[in-house]
Amino acid sequence: MATLHLRNVPDELDALLTQDAAARGMSKNRRAVELLRRGLGVDQVERAALVAAIRRDRKKVDVDIAALIRDGRPDDA
């Protein structure tokens, strides 16, 4: 894996990155990489592959919800 060094980061960005990473329980480096991936659109490729896998693996459910509710309702005696 390549090494990335960030220099000349404005203090306010460094503070926000530090705070955000701490809130998520991860290192600043890991959070910076996640933000770069999102910014460059790399995570969209992975997300699209995940959605495609879910669609491929899911089972179709075709149920009449109103009938289920009607059949499950106790008698109004």
Token pair listed for 39: 């910014």
Extents of the domains making up the chain: 17-72
Q: Is the whole-model pTM more than 0.85?
A: no
9-51: per-residue pLDDT in tens? Answer: 999 999 999 999 999 999 999 999 889 888 887 777 777 787 8
DSSP structural state of residue 8: S
HSE-up of residue 7 (Cα within 13 Å, Cβ side): 1
Rg of the chain in Å (alpha carbons): 24
